[in-house]
Structure 1
């Protein structure tokens, strides 16, 4: 698996995964009807960095990295990860998260924070915890899950230095 900066052509290949994840309304608080152009801006232009994981030309997943806040809070970064359905359970999210931590350290960030990990996403929570992240807060009923209704979201944090 190669993890490289995303290109516009890579995003075209990633778009079906992005759209499927957002439309499922199980993990991301993005508009399920988001357009391709708005998704590209949100995932590729707004963040400081965006990377894609590929193997044999197939996009397995992607992540973005950006400051979690501005000014005095810009030493903490935020990331988002998406993995293609057919690539789940193969270590892609782990590889992306480890890569993002290296990139964050290189960019000078002192910590990484996930602002809204949906509590029903137990696989992701377990992975993030295995990589050193801790739940530092919970927002009751912070997410409208497509199948389970209102569920909590967790704020997860890890010091990088």
Structure 2
């Protein structure tokens, strides 16, 4: 699997990964009716370094890394990940996470923080903890899950 910077020609394949996650509305706090252009502007924003994971010419997953906050919080990275439905369970998210941790170190970040991990996303939580993240906060009922209703969101953190 190759992880590389996203390129303008990747937009349609990036959208193909973004759209089902956004429409499902059960893991990301994004509007479920977000348009393609809005979603791509969000994921590929200039302040983010956006990556794709590909194998055999197909994009299997996407990620970004950015400063979590400006000013006094700019030494902590933030990242996001999505995997193509057909590529789930193949180690794509784990590879993207490991890559983002390495890239964050290269960029001089001291830590990484996930601000809003939906508590019902147990597979992702288990994976992030395997990569050294610890739960440092819990936001009661902060996410309105489409099936479960008010659901906790977690804050996960690890030093680099």
In which range does the TM-score fall when normalised by the shorter chain?
over 0.9
In structure 2, how many angstroms separate the alpha carbons of the residues matched to 1:122 and 1:28? 14
In structure 1, how many angstroms separate the alpha carbons of the residues matched to 2:8 and 2:104? 22
Give the count of matched residue pairs: 160
Q: Equivalent residue for 1:121?
A: 121
In structure 2, how many angstroms separate the alpha carbons of the residues matched to 1:24 and 1:8? 25
Once the two structures are superposed, the pairs formed by residues 11-90 of structure 1 within 5 Å of their partners are 11-90=11-90
**Structure 1 unmatched runs, 5+:** none
Q: Report SS of the residue matched to 2:30.
A: coil
Instruction: Tell me by how many angstroms 1:47 deviates.
Output: 3.5
Q: CA RMSD in A?
A: 0.8
Instruction: Tell me by how many angstroms 1:48 deviates.
Output: 2.7
Equivalent pair of 1:53/1:62 in contact (CA under 8 Å): yes
Instruction: Tell me by how many angstroms 1:40 deviates.
Output: 1.4
Superposition TM-score, scaled by structure 1 size: 0.97
Q: Equivalent residue for 2:152?
A: 152
Q: Equivalent residue for 1:137?
A: 137
Q: Report SS of the residue matched to 2:44.
A: helix
Instruction: Tell me by how many angstroms 1:79 deviates.
Output: 0.3
Q: Report SS of the residue matched to 1:138.
A: strand
In structure 2, how many angstroms separate the alpha carbons of the residues matched to 1:124 and 1:42? 21
Q: Report SS of the residue matched to 1:41.
A: helix
In structure 2, how many angstroms separate the alpha carbons of the residues matched to 1:124 and 1:11? 24
In structure 1, how many angstroms separate the alpha carbons of the residues matched to 2:46 and 2:151? 28
**Structure 2 unmatched runs, 5+:** none
Instruction: Tell me by how many angstroms 1:147 deviates.
Output: 1.0
